[in-house]
Amino acid sequence: MVKLGDTAPDFSLKDQNGEEFRLSDYRGKKVLLSFHPLAWTGICAQQMKDLEANYGRFEELNTIPVGISVDSVPCKKAWAEYLGLKKLKILADFWPHGEVARLYGVFRENNGFSERANIIVNEEGKIIFIKVYPIRELPDVEELLEFLEE
């Protein structure tokens, strides 16, 4: 598991539109990595909708939120359209299966998907926030925004 102060492992994943997202391309901004177990599940859907609804607030705090799960790009595309996501990128940690979740220490080997977790990377690429949630708990987006406002 990564720790506070660690340099965030760089990665590149495709988003729901098949476009490449590379973490290191966002140096100079904070990045919220919002891991969720699986698309098409209730809590995961609300987790992504909360990020979308607050996207402007994250931008004001120089932060790019992204969702990450082990689902494929076509699955992510259909789910993003279903949820009405317009700004939020949701990344496919599909192949190698769960590789980015493993890099960050949040992959659940016995389940084949990630923990529900939020990790914030600062402008210099250092990890400044880590929280792993019980799998059935919806993360509090206000807690994240308050942390970023400090």
44 is catalytic: yes
At 48, list the tokens.
Answer: 């992504």
At 84, list the tokens.
Answer: 């009405």
At 20, list the tokens.
Answer: 């490449």
Q: How far is CA 81 from CA 16, 48, 86, in A?
A: 9, 12, 8
Q: Which residue of the set 44, 106, 144, 148 is catalytic?
A: 44
Classify each residue of 56-69 as buried b or exposed e, where b means 16 or more C-beta atoms within 10 Å of its C-beta. Answer: ebbeebebbbbbbb
Q: Which of 3, 28, 1 is nearest to 129 (CA)?
A: 3
Q: Which of 129, 95, 114 is nearest to 11 (CA)?
A: 95
Cα distance between residue 123 and residue 130, in whole Å: 16
Residues recognised as catalytic: 44
